[in-house]
Structure 1
Amino acid sequence: MCGIVAAVGNIDTDKCQRMLHRIKHRGPDDTGEIRRGNVWLGHQRLSIMDVEGGHQPLTDSGATTYLVANGEIYNHRHIREDLGHELFETGSDSEAALHALIIDGPVGLARLRGMFALAFATEEGDFLAARDPLGVKPLYWARRDDVILFASELRAFDEADRPLVESFPPGHCWSPSGGLVRFADAIPAHVRPARRAEEAGVWDRTLVKAVRESIVTAVENRMMSDVGVGVFLSGGLDSAIVAAVAAEYAAKNGQSLPTFAVGAEGSSDLEAARVVAEFLDAQHHNIEHHEILMSPQDAVDALPRAVTAIEHYDPSLVRSAVPNLLLAEYASKRVHAVLTGEGADELFAGYPYYHEEPFTDPDALQAELVRTVGELHHLNLQRCDRASMAFGLEAREPFLDRDVVELALSIPPEHKMIGPGIEEKKLLREAFEGWLPDSILHRGKEQFGDGSGAKEVLEAAVRNSPDVAAAEGVELRTREEAGFYAIWDRELRGIRPEATLGLFATT
């Protein structure tokens, strides 16, 4: 996990270095840069895979191609076997992306399974930038007449360039010769519900088993690390499932599993997380559970940092970001990577509004699930990435594994609808019966900002915020949102809200 900066065109090295320095928090372990002709690549590294040998920019044995990458390529071992181990000089998973692009060109992006934003260059001046299909890892760009600039975060850009900054679209690559090209859809075109309700009936054990196995595999793949992995444990169903699978994996490999929970004293999240940790520890004897108590003053003090870190002012994201930031600050001193439960609600219809009109119609529900999964990159994923990377901590989201996404969205939407005796995410709960205590397996949905106790404190903190002149086209819906926007506007002066909200056109 890292931060990247790239430029192609009329290079201003000082500007590029300034941009890289502004995202040093994303990779505090190492800094690397290289210029070749009209291309500049920069990298801030958080050392997780091949700590000693994974310095970036990566290059091939002939030093004719270069790559900087942010993220993880989870199938890098398979790519090594397919392309030939003799090509590889490091144990870095990012080197798989380098050789895939050397051998196949942009088509090589299709080989990569994981979360990534990358920039690739050759000695001859060729250049390519790309972002993973779901946009799990961030990438922004600013297109000037004489230079194109890329960076992992909005704050990286000079104020003069900020009005031009846009979110680089997920599943796309860009090169000077080919322009912007889609190489993968967030939701593959072939993913459609397998059968209608009248044909599907009640799900069978085969489907339950498939859901469980896909999630187990996704979690195990994300335990990949040379420096240890923990779990953010809110006590909700999704993070508890991740923790249960990770604990099983850690026990089989003779490892302990650190889990981290945050909340106000007596908050429901802290209590539920403690129940999960004690249950798993009794089964596996390998849980190291950590609780971070958040006082009202802690939440208020963290608010400006949280808004600045997540580069967003949406109230639901900010409420979640404050405890998330405190959790990341603590966890980063103990592990380099954590697993989270992001994505499960969007895949299995966990939010209450999914079960209200007009989404009581199966086709409408399916369309909304597909839409919200596709928009995660500028909402919950943006909050999750920035809050953790503010302290050089990598967050990994097993539920957003491509196989899990494809399976979940191929399930008839009728199987995700509630009814008499049928709670939300029943299929997911059934898949992990016996893995968790019943009280957690059937715990109702509670937003992170609510369960941690942050919501009321933050609403009060900005209740008397002064009126704010919002940018054109920005509608501030509540006094709370106006207060968060004022912080955002002060800290990210010059950035257009569209860059945060993902509303720019992609052509």
Structure 2
Amino acid sequence: MCGIAGIFHLETAKPVDPLRIERMCDAIAHRGPDGQGVWTAPGVGLGHRRLSIIDVAGSPQPMASSDDRTMLVFNGEIYNYRELRQELRVLGAVFQTDGDSEVILAAWQKWGPECLSRLNGIFAFAIYDLDARTLFLARDRFGVKPLFLAELSDGSVAFASELKALTAHPLLRREIDPLSIEDFLTWGYVPDARSILKGVTKLPAGHSLLLRYGSPMPTPRQWWDISFADRRKGNFEDLEAELLHLLREAVASRMVADVPLGAFLSGGVDSSSVVALMAEVSSAPVKTCSIGFDVASLDESAYARRIAERFGTEHRERLVSPDDFEAVDTLASIFDEPFADASALPTWRVCQLARESVTVALSGDGADEAFAGYRRHVFQHGEDRLRSVLPAMLRRPVFGTLGALYPKADWAPRSLRAKTTLLSLAADSAEGYARAISVTGPEHRNALYSADFKRLRGDYRAETLVTELMRGAPARSGLDRAQYADLKVWLPGDILTKVDRVSMAVGLEAREPLLDHRLVEFAATLPEAVRLRGKQGKWLMKRTMRRYLPDDVLYRPKQGFVTPIDEWFRGPLASAAGSIGTSAALARTGWFDPRSLSKVAEAHIQGRANNSRLLWQLLMLDRSLEGLGVS
């Protein structure tokens, strides 16, 4: 795993200063502490920071092809590179290294952009063709590896693995896109469809971009998509056998490394499944690590220990406490853009723990999105059944009125928190799901915004991203469309961004076997009743893993990697919550009504509402703005 950066001039072959590329790479040195390299030619410059995983002693980058016609910088891992190497050798390719980077170069020279469909891995890379004077940029299917882009005033395009590398370029303007604030308040992150800074974009997951000298900036091309349009047939036994085969293949392929390897273990279904399958093929005890909390109701470390004992792993754990809040500025700087998934803090801590003994760690991310494992999928499925029997002309006035009148009872038992469900039932399936996955709903956002910001935002609403995606999805049902939106928006924008940034911040490579594209494509064809049965998500996966895991691990209520920020903001962190309304960076923007912010904090501290997620959003936004040096 590595960090990449570069500059390409579209209009004139201006010389690229190697020091400029070097500074961009220095900003992401944490992604590649084992080596660095810069290459320039008229009109182009490529830079690389290396974290050595495969072919540790070889494969320096930027890397030239065997005929010196193309140059590559690459961030990621290609899991089937050995098979591709053999195929390309038969076709005449000559290799000088034992790594996967040279395989990408040879595949590009043989198949061009079509090489992407042959790559099984996680990647963001750039290939410059010296003869054609083109720069080819590509990103993996799910967006595990990031790639930021910016068109600059001198006619060049700059790209990098993280935003901080682009902000190291003196021509990048640091002006906030106000629509990104609407996105962030809605989702808790800035989705891949936008960036916090005007003029900066992200190459979407499963897309490529071919830049040509003398041609204008093109539109990215989608080279891969996931389809829920077909349904697989077969009995449970056949589906189980196929799923188990795919799971084993996915895990085994991600255990190839020339450095120490381990796994994150939370004690939940997904990470426990990965560890079980690792133990099945490993000749030595699997190295596992987990994080616990000082709030007993949120602490799952006992389950992690139980799985560790079951499979004889070499297990280590560490506790997260309120004192970790002192690291919030560092956490904000890791992400550059505002990022308010509070589980980033324990994820960062578990990455630090893992890095003490391994360089690669496998995670359980991706199964919930692929196999319908979230509680919201159960609600969406049930609500769509009700929508199918009640016409919209009845639902909208009845449930809309009830939802508007029902109190936002955060303090009540979950079964009595019906406001979101009622408002969701008043809407269609796409609108309802967009509301269900939002952190801050439209009514609440409007109450926080100042009049000036509402004018800046105009008619734009963040939910449109999800509703339009769901309505155009290759899918059959509302559940299909919800999962499609999760894979396209939530997964790259939240889950994968979180894991990439915090793991790379400590020089650790994280791999997600449950996001093997063959596994996810299989899951997308499963009948709904096999993905979701009653209130039980991931039904087939859990049934398949019963041969490895006990029922009380497989079927206990889903906990998630939750940080106890609710208690923290009412206890040792109450002063931080109370000052949100007067925070310097937020106050300078003029985007929010200070009195509304103060009321949010006061209601939470006094226990009248649970506004912890919103307070965390506002705090992370404030610290991110300070770090970016903008207002």
Range class of TM-score, shorter chain: 0.7 to 0.9
Provide the rounded CA distance (Å) in 1 between the counterparts of 2:570 and 2:529.
37
- Please, which runs of 5 or more residues in structure 2 have no aligned partner? 175-197, 386-476, 598-612
Provide the rounded CA distance (Å) in 2 between the counterparts of 1:342 and 1:472.
38
Shift of 1:302: 2.7
Distance 1:68 1:474, change over 3 A: farther
For residue 507 of structure 2, the aligned residue among 362, 380, 392 is 392
* Other structure's SS at 2:71 match: strand
Shift of 1:217: 0.8
- Equivalences, count: 473
Q: Is 2:315 aligned against 1:308?
A: no
Quick check: 1:309–1:386 contact (8 Å CA) kept in 2? Answer: yes
For residue 480 of structure 2, the aligned residue among 359, 362, 366 is 366
* Other structure's SS at 2:580 match: coil
* Other structure's SS at 1:372 match: helix
Distance 1:327 1:414, change over 3 A: same
Provide the rounded CA distance (Å) in 1 between the counterparts of 2:251 and 2:80.
13
Quick check: 1:459–1:480 contact (8 Å CA) kept in 2? Answer: no
TM-score normalized with structure 2 length: 0.71
Q: Is 2:272 aligned against 1:240?
A: yes
* Other structure's SS at 2:158 match: strand
* Other structure's SS at 1:263 match: strand
Deviates more, 1:173-182 or 1:485-494: 173-182
Shift of 1:156: 1.1
Distance 1:21 1:359, change over 3 A: farther
What is the aligned partner in structure 1 of residue 459 from structure 2?
none
Shift of 1:403: 0.4
For residue 542 of structure 2, the aligned residue among 429, 433, 437 is 429
Shift of 1:126: 2.6
How is 1:91-130 mapped onto 2 (pairs within 5 angstroms)?
A: 91-124=98-131, 125-130=133-138
Distance 1:425 1:276, change over 3 A: same
Provide the rounded CA distance (Å) in 1 between the counterparts of 2:527 and 2:589.
42
What is the aligned partner in structure 2 of residue 30 from structure 1?
35
Residue identity over aligned pairs, in percent, reads: 35
Q: Is 2:275 aligned against 1:164?
A: no
Q: Letter of the aligned partner of 2:344 in structure 1?
A: A
Render the CA deviation track for 1:294-348: whole Å, top value 9, x for unaligned. Answer: 2221x21232222321345443x2x111011111112112111111111111111
What is the aligned partner in structure 2 of residue 382 from structure 1?
497
* Other structure's SS at 2:231 match: coil
Quick check: 2:380–2:478 contact (8 Å CA) kept in 1? Answer: no
Quick check: 2:18–2:39 contact (8 Å CA) kept in 1? Answer: no
Distance 1:50 1:174, change over 3 A: same
Provide the rounded CA distance (Å) in 2 between the counterparts of 1:22 and 1:33.
14
Render the CA deviation track for 1:365-411: whole Å, top value 9, x for unaligned. Answer: 11000110112111110001001000110111111111011001111
Q: Is 2:81 aligned against 1:68?
A: no
For residue 293 of structure 1, the aligned residue among 316, 319, 327 is 319
For residue 567 of structure 2, the aligned residue among 430, 440, 456 is 456
Distance 1:321 1:412, change over 3 A: same
How is 1:256-335 mapped onto 2 (pairs within 5 angstroms)?
A: 256-265=285-294, 266=296, 268-281=299-312, 287-297=313-323, 299-315=324-340, 317=341, 319-335=342-358
- Please, which runs of 5 or more residues in structure 1 have no aligned partner? 282-286, 496-507
Shift of 1:205: 0.9
Q: Letter of the aligned partner of 2:537 in structure 1?
A: E
* Other structure's SS at 2:567 match: helix
Provide the rounded CA distance (Å) in 2 between the counterparts of 1:457 and 1:97.
47
Provide the rounded CA distance (Å) in 1 between the counterparts of 2:493 and 2:54.
27
Provide the rounded CA distance (Å) in 2 between the counterparts of 1:416 and 1:471.
45
Quick check: 1:350–1:425 contact (8 Å CA) kept in 2? Answer: yes
Shift of 1:357: 4.2
Provide the rounded CA distance (Å) in 2 between the counterparts of 1:492 and 1:443.
42
Please tell me whether Structure 1 or Structure 2 has the larger radius of gyration of its CA atoms.
2
What is the aligned partner in structure 1 of residue 3 from structure 2?
3
Quick check: 1:115–1:132 contact (8 Å CA) kept in 2? Answer: yes
Render the CA deviation track for 1:93-135: whole Å, top value 9, x for unaligned. Answer: 1221111112222222222111100011133333211111211
Provide the rounded CA distance (Å) in 1 between the counterparts of 2:591 and 2:381.
27
What is the aligned partner in structure 1 of residue 145 from structure 2?
137
For residue 579 of structure 2, the aligned residue among 454, 465, 479 is 465
Quick check: 1:359–1:365 contact (8 Å CA) kept in 2? Answer: no
